[in-house]
């Protein structure tokens, strides 16, 4: 399996089929920091590479491969990478900017998730979403819209650690977790992973 295939499945599944990790609408205009972030990412939306690079620290995203999904799920490699990371820009199909960056192990984990396969063992991966995001469900990996039991789960800037059951015990989970602290998304499923809030980029 080539890394490009993994990237393509991740982007197609996350952006088109599953619609997960959609970016939340930013805080009210009175929140200056959130407003500045929103403006910065909105400005990057006209430049897919800049939008994609905003998802992770520049020490990672500057040398990452950048891929973009079209509305029909086809993939375009905008830039080849040199450091094993892949970033994708905002998707116009989501309600706000939603760039993300992920390492090779996270790509393998996402491939398993998208294809309903067991995640690989011993392959801990990391994903960055420094612009935050929302998900339709914190309990169902395949939910595409909120239900009466699951409201939108809103998370600010965060990283995700996937592929490690060992780090999950002791962290809160459930349908409506406290997203201001590390919490488990999709607990009790093969795709349970740790969501870790981080400081907003300045």
Mean pLDDT of the chain: 78
pLDDT value of residue 57: 95
Altogether, the residues listed in the chain come to a count of 202
How confident is the model over 143-158, as a mean pLDDT?
A: 84
Residue 114 has pLDDT above 80, yes or no: yes
Antiparallel, parallel or unpaired: β 125-129 and 100-102 = antiparallel
Q: Of 115, 105, 84, which is closest to residue 14 (Cα–Cα)?
A: 115
User: Residue 97: CA atoms inside 13 Å, Cβ hemisphere, count?
Assistant: 29
Distance CA 85, CA 195 (A): 19
Q: Which two tokens stand for residue 12?
A: 């197609």
Q: Using 50, 70 and 90 to split pLDDT, how confident is the model at 92?
A: low
User: Residue 62: how many CB atoms within 10 A of its CB?
Assistant: 14
Distance CA 105, CA 141 (A): 18
Distance CA 114, CA 15 (A): 11
pLDDT value of residue 95: 58
CA distance to 48, 49, 50, 185, 201, per residue, from 140 (Å): 30, 31, 32, 9, 29
pLDDT in tens, 9-64: 444 444 433 333 333 333 333 333 333 443 344 444 578 999 999 999 999 999 99
Question: For 124-192, where are the E strands, in sequence order?
Answer: 125-129, 133-135, 153-155, 158-162, 183-185
- CB contact set of 121 (below 8 Å; sequence gap of 6+): none
Q: Which residues are bridge partners to 183 per DSSP?
A: 195
């Amino acid at each position: 399996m080539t890394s490009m295939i993994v990237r393509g499945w991740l982007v197609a599944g996350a952006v088109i089929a599953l619609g997960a990790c959609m970016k939340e609408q930013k805080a009210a205009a009175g929140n200056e920091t959130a407003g500045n972030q929103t403006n910065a990412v909105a400005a990057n939306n006209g430049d897919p590479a800049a939008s994609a690079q905003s998802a992770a620290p520049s020490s990672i995203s500057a040398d990452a491969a950048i891929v973009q999904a079209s509305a029909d799920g086809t993939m375009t490699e905008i830039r080849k990478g040199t450091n094993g990371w892949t970033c994708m820009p905002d998707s116009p199909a989501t309600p706000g900017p939603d760039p993300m960056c992920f390492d090779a192990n996270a790509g393998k984990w996402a491939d398993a998730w998208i294809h309903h396969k067991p995640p690989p063992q011993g392959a801990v991966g990391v994903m960055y979403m420094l612009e935050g995001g929302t998900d339709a469900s914190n309990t169902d990996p395949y939910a595409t819209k909120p239900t009466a039991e699951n409201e939108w789960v809103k998370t600010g800037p965060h990283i995700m650690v996937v592929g490690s059951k060992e780090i999950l015990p002791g962290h809160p989970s459930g349908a409506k977790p406290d997203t201001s602290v590390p919490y488990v998304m999709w607990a009790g499923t093969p795709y349970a992973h740790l969501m870790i809030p981080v400081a907003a980029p300045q």
